[in-house]
């Protein structure tokens, strides 16, 4: 239990997802040219006992981190995370705000972001980039522009400049 204003609310852990149990099924569907919609809500957290039996556990799985776990497991070349903002921004909401166009996983990992907002997306992007892919984070209503690299942030394993600002 945790205090929430003048009341209390129940809290549960949010573990970092290790893998997606249904990844082999997702891979099979993709290999058979099917469109797969998955891990949008993060999924149901499970743990395995000594015999390998899986049981549900009380936890919340972040959808971005679950998507990154699946993308890394599938060796996806690109993970796209759509959000309200046009870019991932350093110093967001301040006069020093700078929009990030492209960043290496190492360079962006040194920048703090809002824990309940952009940080999970950046952490997910870093995981994908370090697994050999790239991640795009950008506005839901401008997917074509994001793919054309006119808007949004791209995070890759290596970027010569470390960070390129828009």
Scan for tokens 């743990």, then name that residue: 47
pLDDT of 33 over the 90 cut: yes
pLDDT 10s digits, 42-98: 678 888 899 989 998 888 888 899 999 999 999 999 999 999 999 999 999 899 999
Q: What is the pLDDT of residue 148?
A: 96
Q: What is the pLDDT of residue 42?
A: 67
Read off the pLDDT band of 30 (50, 70, 90). very high
Q: What is the pLDDT of residue 164?
A: 94
Closest to 155 measured CA to CA, from 110, 108, 91: 108
pLDDT 10s digits, 1-14: 888 889 998 888 88
End-to-end Cα separation, the chain, in angstroms = 43
User: In sequence order, which residues have a C-beta less than 8 Å from that of residue 70 and are 6 or more positions away?
Assistant: 20, 23, 26, 38, 39, 76
Contact in structure between 78 and 134 (CB atoms under 8 Å): yes
Strands 134-139 and 78-83: parallel
pLDDT 10s digits, 83-122: 999 999 999 989 999 999 999 999 999 999 988 789 999 9
pTM of the model: 0.86
User: In sequence order, which residues have a C-beta less than 8 Å from that of residue 122 and are 6 or more positions away?
Assistant: 88, 108, 109, 111, 113, 137, 155
Q: What is the pLDDT of residue 15?
A: 83
Q: What is the pLDDT of residue 29?
A: 97
Kindly calculate the radius of gyration of the chain based on its CA atoms and give it in whole angstroms.
17
Q: What is the mean pLDDT of the chain?
A: 92
d(CA 41, CA 43) in angstroms, rounded, equals 6
Q: What is the pLDDT of residue 109?
A: 95
Tokens, residue 157: 């394993």
Scan for tokens 């972040």, then name that residue: 62
């Amino acid at each position: 239990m945790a205090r929430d204003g003048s009341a209390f609310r129940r809290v549960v852990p949010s573990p970092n997802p290790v893998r997606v149990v249904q990844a082999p099924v997702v891979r099979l569907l993709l290999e058979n040219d099917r469109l797969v919609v998955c891990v949008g809500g993060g999924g149901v957290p499970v743990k395995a006992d000594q015999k390998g039996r899986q049981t549900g556990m009380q936890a919340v799985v972040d959808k971005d981190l679950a998507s990154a776990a699946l993308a890394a497991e599938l060796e996806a070349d690109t993970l796209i995370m759509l959000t309200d903002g046009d870019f991932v921004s350093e110093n967001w909401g301040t006069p020093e705000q700078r929009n990030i166009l492209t960043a290496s996983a190492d360079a962006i990992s040194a920048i703090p972001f809002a824990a309940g907002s952009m940080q999970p997306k950046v952490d997910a992007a870093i995981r994908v980039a370090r697994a050999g892919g790239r991640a795009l984070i950008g506005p839901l209503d401008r997917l074509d522009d994001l793919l054309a690299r006119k808007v949004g942030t791209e995070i890759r394993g290596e970027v010569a400049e470390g960070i390129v600002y828009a």
